[in-house]
A and B are shown apart, each in its own frame.
Chain A
Amino acid sequence: MRITFERRLRQPRWLSVAVPVGSVVFAFFLAGLVLLATGHNPLSTYRQLFDAAFLQTGSLTQTLISATPLAFTGLAAAAAFRMKLFNIGAEGQLYMGAIFGAAAGLYLGGTGSSSPFVIAAMVVTGCVGGTLWALIPGVLKAFFKTNEILTSLLLNYVAALVLTYLIFQSQSYWRETKGFNASVFPVGKQLPPSAVWPSWTIHIQGGVTVPLGAVLAVLAAVVLWVLYARTRFGFEARVLGDSERAARYAGVRVRRKILAVMALSGAIAGLGGASQVGDFAHSIDGDPNGLQKLGYGYTGIVIAALARYNPFAVVVVAFLIGGLENAGNTLQGVDFPAGLVGVIQGIILFSALGGEVLIRHRVRIVRTKKRAAAAGAEPAS
């Protein structure tokens, strides 16, 4: 008796939703076992998680703060991974977008330009910063066939070093040099008021603040979906992802596509960085224990994978994972297990990966009788 997998000819739609959902449920179940085994009460822990993520007053605002960067990096990953271009560099591209966006905000905001202009400039420069950083692995892949996984990953470390350098190891434009406080500890310059991104309040649950970045993330998701589902660019990208050879025969210019998709991916991540500065931090955070420890870029990859690279699903999943991260921060303390957030995210991803098998393959239990052909076996129900 053997279990074999047969590739499905068609991938049923409902499975594409049921499997990720089922994986999450299964993951919580497994993580619950881990909690039990280590002496924590899973039910009360999960209850606290839901409370802190979505139900308490002010929790949705905090969840949006966690979810906005995740949506950007998730979309960035989805844009690239869809084409089997494994851009692991969203983290570094986000930092670069933050640096470029902050520069625009500091400079233009200081010259008295109107706020919409400054913010638009920050959006554009944020995208540019991310794109430039992503084009390095892009060019190396397109022209030198260098594996983009490692190049984009290593550049994350370099970007982190640049970020720290700008604030802690130099008197750069981004660093606050005036004032007594500045000499006491290195901090970044605060954005002038015209460069601070707006937010809107929805009057539910005591007031939920929706930052501009969240709106932009949703817009980016729409653009990305249209691009991949309805344009030739997207079609070619998907073909290239499935089979490079087929794409070449179809006349797709592979090099250009690689560059374009990396640029797109980097732009989205860079916009996330600009949002970090414009929406939340209002200055560059060069502290190695600050922005660099939050791992937005890497979590984005998890989100993209779980969402099966569908841009709208990415936004939804980013919201949920943002809730999880927010809850992890809130609950962190002596009696809440540290590292639980990573454990749960990891198990969710494992389950989703495992479940993916069910989407692409049909499970067959084959009874091998002594000389009977395997073809006569009953299919699994």
Chain B
Amino acid sequence: MNNSLLIVLIASGVAYGTPLLYAALGELLAERSGVLNLGVEGMMLVGAVMGFWTVQHVHANAGIALAAAVVVAGLVGAALSAIHAFLVITLRASQIVSGLALTIFAGAVGLSSYLGNDLNLSGAPATHTFSAVFPASMQRWPVIGPIVFGQNVLVYISWGCVVGIWLYLSRTRPGLNVRAVGESPAAADTMGINVTRYRYVHTLVGGAFAGVAGATITLAITPQWVDGITGGAGWIAIALVIFAFWRPELCLVGAYFFGALQALAPQLQARHISLGPTVLWTNALPYVMTIVVLVIVSSGTARSRLGAPAALGNPYAREER
């Protein structure tokens, strides 16, 4: 039963959706404060390469090396997002162009490739990887075995993050403040909330999450380094945030849904379920579905009830209030 297509897809969805989840959570935080950061793909890649580098060079036991790698990946992601934050918050540049610049700068033909090459990171497996935490016997339990107990610690931490962010946004004072900043920075400013600081912090934390998302790929999923190993996951994460109506719990559902979709084609092939001429559709399905959901989400009523932070994408200038 654990081997049925559905269970396998859900379990794969969780595993492959985790980098999407981390990246989406980070982007969610930034966007809630009103900052759109399109540079997720770039930040993920640099987090991936530097996390990988750390685990290859920290000569300690697996636990410490991996923890250090995750921390480094997060710091690197935050550092990159700082560039974007400075440009769009302090200098009030276009958020879209800046995010794209970040992707080009750090992406598959940019900094991540530069570092991977200069630091000689290809051609060797990761010294340590994140593997399943629970014993094999528990992984064999029906249904929840592979789905819940067959995952690595980064997956479990991501669940903690979803809960934490949900609590933060809905139950804490700073969380409510950031929502105000994202909806109407002018009003928030009058209330004494430091708009600039909130935006900076949330953008940087968003970058850190993106870095960790990248490290998930090079430390857990495919523990090696090649240029562009994220394969566009950053863009899907950006779409995911909208797909999830800017809510962390829906990010989780969406991320796992996408992860499962991506695992679908090989699963069907291995089980000799012929795709035939539909191979194009199966591959295109995740993207088409996202577009459909985007249309639904953006239409009139949905938007007013569940929509984006109203000030998303606009720089805040106190002088022009």
Contacts and interface: CB of A to CB of B under 8 A. Distances in A.
Contact present between A and B (CB < 8 A): yes
Interface of A: 4-7, 38-39, 86, 88, 140, 144-147, 149-151, 153-155, 157-158, 161-162, 165, 169-170, 295, 298-299, 301-302, 305, 337-343, 345-347, 349-350, 353-354, 356-357, 361
Contacts of B238: 150
A170 B284 contact: no
Contacts of B58: none
Interface string B293-310: 011001110010000000
Interface residues of B, number: 53
A140 B294 CA distance: 10
Interface stretch (B2-10, B90-98, B191-199): B90-98
Interface stretch (B105-113, B170-178, B249-257): B105-113
17 contacts: A140-B291, A150-B294, A151-B294, A151-B295, A155-B287, A169-B279, A301-B100, A338-B113, A338-B114, A341-B110, A342-B107, A342-B108, A342-B109, A346-B102, A346-B105, A353-B87, A353-B93
B274 to A, nearest CB: 13
Contacts of A356: 91, 93-94
Nearest to B84: A350
A340 B87 CA distance: 22
A307 B286 CA distance: 35
A38 B280 CA distance: 43
Contact of A350 (B98, B118, B232): B98
A149 B277 contact: no
Given A88-B100, A346-B102, 7 more contacts: A150-B238, A154-B235, A302-B104, A338-B114, A346-B105, A349-B104, A353-B93
B287 A38 contact: no
Contacts of B242: 147, 150
Identify whether the interface residues of A are mostly helix, strand, loop, or mixed.
helix
A354 B279 contact: no
Contacts of B87: 350, 353-354
Contact of A357 (B93, B97, B118): B93
Q: Which of A151, A154, A305, A340 has the most CB of B within 10 A?
A: A154
Contact of A161 (B108, B115, B284): B284
A353 B101 contact: yes
B224 to A, nearest CB: 17
B238 to A, nearest CB: 7
A349 B232 contact: no
Contact of A339 (B98, B114, B290): B114
B131 interface: no
Contacts of B294: 140, 146-147, 150-151
Interface string B48-62: 000000000000000
A339 B113 contact: yes
Nearest to A348: B101
B117 interface: yes
Given A161-B284, A339-B113, A343-B111, A170 B277 contact: yes
Contacts of B167: none
A143 to B, nearest CB: 9
Contacts of B100: 88, 298, 301-302, 305, 349
B279 A165 contact: yes
A145 B299 CA distance: 6
Given A302-B104, A353-B97, A353-B101, A5 B92 contact: yes
Given A343-B110, A346-B111, A154 B239 contact: yes
B97 A349 contact: yes
A361 B238 CA distance: 31
Contact of A147 (B232, B277, B298, B320): B298
Contacts of A150: 238-239, 242, 290-291, 294
A144 B284 CA distance: 22
Contact of A305 (B97, B109, B227, B279): B97
A86 B38 CA distance: 12
Contacts of A342: 104-111, 113-114
Contacts of A337: 114, 117-118
A158 B295 contact: no
B105 A353 contact: no
Contacts of A295: 109
Interface in B20-64: 38
A298 B97 CA distance: 11
Nearest to A304: B97
A69 to B, nearest CB: 16
A165 B93 CA distance: 39
B163 interface: no
A67 B293 CA distance: 37
B24 to A, nearest CB: 13
Given A147-B242, A341-B109, A343-B110, A298 B104 contact: yes
